Amino acid sequence: GRLVAYASTGLITGLAATRLGLTGTRMGVYAMLALSLLMIAYGLGAGVRHFSFCRLLTRGVEKPYFPYILGLLTGFSVCPPFLLALSYVMEKSADVTFALAFFLSFFCATSLYVLPVGLIGHLPRPEWMNLASRLAAVAAGFFFLSQAVFSLVDIWT
C-alpha cells in the first residue's frame, strides 16, 4: 500500500509540475525553505504533529485486505517529511521519471525505519531509537534547508 501511495504521488507530482510549469519557481523554493525549517522543528520535538489518514480507519481490521489499505493510508500521511519531498521534487525537476524515482527512493528510505518499527511496534522503544530518528529528521531538514538557500542564491543572482 505504501509503495502504491508513494509511486502514485511521484507520478502525480511529476505530471502536475510538468503541466503547471512549477519547476524552479520561487514558490517551490520558498515552500522548501519553510518545510525544511518545519522538518527541523519536527526533529527537535517542537510540538509539530502530522495528520494521518490511518486514524480514519476504524472498521475492517479483521479483513484480509486491511494491511494494504493501512499501507496506502500511511503512504498518504501529511507530515513534514512527505510535504518536504513534494516541494523538493516540484522545485528540482518537472520530469515525471525523476519524480517517480525520487518517491520510490523515498519509499525505500522510509521502509528502513517503518519495517522494524512495525514489527516491534508493541514493544517498548529504547530512547536511543527515538533520538536517532529525531537526529535523522534534523539532518534531513538541514540538507533541504541548504538546498533551498542555494536555490535562492541562484534566483537572486
Which spans in the chain are helix H?
2-20, 26-43, 66-75, 80-92, 96-119, 127-156
C-alpha grid cell, residue 67 = 494491511
pLDDT at 65 over 60: yes
Q: What pLDDT was estimated at residue 48?
A: 59
Q: What pLDDT was estimated at residue 23?
A: 60
Q: What's the full length of the chain, in residues?
A: 157
C-alpha grid cell, residue 36 = 525544511
pTM for the whole structure: 0.61
C-alpha grid cell, residue 100 = 517517480
Q: What pLDDT was estimated at residue 36?
A: 84
More confident site: 69 or 86: 86
Q: What pLDDT was estimated at residue 142?
A: 92
Under DSSP, the state recorded for 50 is -
More confident site: 79 or 142: 142
State how far the Cα of 89 lies from the Cα of 24, in Å rounded to an integer.
10
Q: Are 125 and 25 in contact (CB under 8 A)?
A: no
CA 66 to chain centre: 23
Q: What pLDDT was estimated at residue 25?
A: 61
pLDDT band at 122 (very low <50, low <70, confident <90, very high): low
- 81-95, 111-125, 140-154: lowest mean pLDDT where? 111-125
pLDDT band at 152 (very low <50, low <70, confident <90, very high): confident
Q: For residue 16, how many other CB atoms are within 10 A of its CB?
A: 17
More confident site: 28 or 152: 152
pLDDT at 31 over 70: yes
- 43-47, 74-78, 135-139: lowest mean pLDDT where? 74-78
State how far the Cα of 139 lies from the Cα of 157, in Å rounded to an integer.
27
State how far the Cα of 92 lies from the Cα of 151, in Å rounded to an integer.
9
In 3D, which of 152, 119, 114, 148 has the Cα closest to residue 133?
Answer: 114
Side chain identity at 108, as an amino acid letter?
A: C
